[in-house]
Amino acid sequence: MKKSKRLRGKRITVTLPQELYDDFKERALNTGLSMSRLVYLRLKKSGNMVLVPRYVLDELKQLNKIFRRIESEGMINANDRELLMSVIELESKISFDIKTTYVFGK
C-alpha cells in the first residue's frame, strides 16, 4: 500500500564541504549504505540541536583567533584587549534570545 504524500518524509538538499562529502562517500562505499542514509543516521545520532545567535558565534570566532595568537606570541596587544573587553560586555547582552543559528554537535 502506498503512503499518502502527507505521511512520507520530506526531502531536503544540502551543500557539504568537500572533506565532509568525501568522508560520507567513503563510508557509503565501505558500508553499502547510501549517502542519504548515512547523513540521516548522523543527524539522528547527533542528539539535540543547540540554537545560538549569530553574533555569539562571531564573537566566539574572534575569541578563538585571539587565544591562538596569545598562545603563539605569549602576549596580548591593545586591539586584542579591547576585543576581550567587548566580549565581557557581550556576556551581559546575552539573555537567551536564542533563535537564529543551528549548531550540530559532532
pLDDT-derived band at 1, boundaries 50, 70, 90: low
pLDDT, mean over the chain: 76
Whether 22 shows a pLDDT value over 90: the answer reads yes
C-alpha cell at 44: 539522528
Closest CA relative to residue 101, chosen from 40, 55, 41, 42: 55
**67 within domain boundaries:** yes
For residue 79, tell me if it sits in a domain.
yes
**pTM of the predicted model as reported, rounded to 2 decimal places:** 0.41
> Is residue 73 included in any domain, yes or no?
yes
Q: Is residue 95 assigned to a domain?
A: yes
Structural domain tally of the chain? 1
Domain assignment present for residue 7? The answer is no
Is 58 a member of any domain? yes
The whole domain housing 68 covers 50-103
Q: Is residue 75 part of a domain?
A: yes
CA distance 41 to 50: 18
Query: Which band of pLDDT confidence, cut at 50, 70 and 90, is reported for residue 82?
Result: confident
CA distance 26 to 13: 20
For residue 77, is it within any domain?
A: yes
